[in-house]
Amino acid sequence: MGRKFVRKTKNGQTPPDVMLRAVREVKLHNKSIRGMAKEFQINYRTLARYCNKISPAEVAGDGIFPSLPVGYLKNRSVFSEEQENHLAEYIITASDIYFGLSPIEVRKLAYMYAVHNNVAVRTNWAEKKMAGADWFSGFLKRHPSLSIRTPEATSLSRATAFNKHNVDQFFDNLEEVMGRHQLWKVITLYS
């Protein structure tokens, strides 16, 4: 199965408020289902189904949106949007403090996060104690600001033009912290 779905039809894209208005026209004003379906540009069988599904109390009420979902439901996802954002923030924070995570580490972290939050995980996650490659691929697509790859070495001898800035910044921060806490004296005592 492809990892990127491309919609081929416009089915299931009727806004919920439009659906409720069409149902109200049919139920309250006794208009025909086919006539209202044509007027609101909805498939007549879909409108008939929602005329049966939506309760009479809701039709008579003054709500704007129906209580039940309209259209196709999103695929079952492991984490809620809030949990995924929290996980992405953690990964960015770890990267900012020079503790970048590799793809395998992110997948293991996702599994541990799911277990900690009592989220139902797929069986292959539980067997391997890490998230699947498809989940990871989708996670990166949902969070394009993340750049997760195997961390590079930060020693002076291996500094390249690409990560020289990060290396210099790391050693500047190290020098500042060691100076602030006078760690140079401790190091010279033990050497």
Burial class, 130, CB count within 10 angstroms (exposed 0-12 / middle 13-18 / buried 19+) = buried
pLDDT at 16: 87
Give the pLDDT confidence score for residue 161 in this predicted structure.
53
- In sequence order, the 6+-apart residues with CB closer than 8 A to the CB of 142 are 84
**Single-letter amino acid code for the residue at 6:** V
Per-residue confidence in pLDDT tens, the chain, 191 aa: 456 678 787 777 888 889 999 999 999 999 999 999 999 999 999 999 999 988 888 888 888 888 777 777 667 788 888 999 999 998 888 887 777 788 899 999 999 989 988 888 888 999 999 999 988 988 898 888 887 776 566 555 554 555 677 778 878 887 887 777 666 555 554 54
What is the per-residue pLDDT for 182?
Answer: 66
**Distinct helix (H) and strand (E) counts, the chain:** 10, 0
- Chain mean position to CA 32: 42
Measured distance CA(148)–CA(113) in Å, rounded: 18
* Rounded Cα–Cα distance for residues 154 and 161 (Å): 12
pLDDT at 1: 45
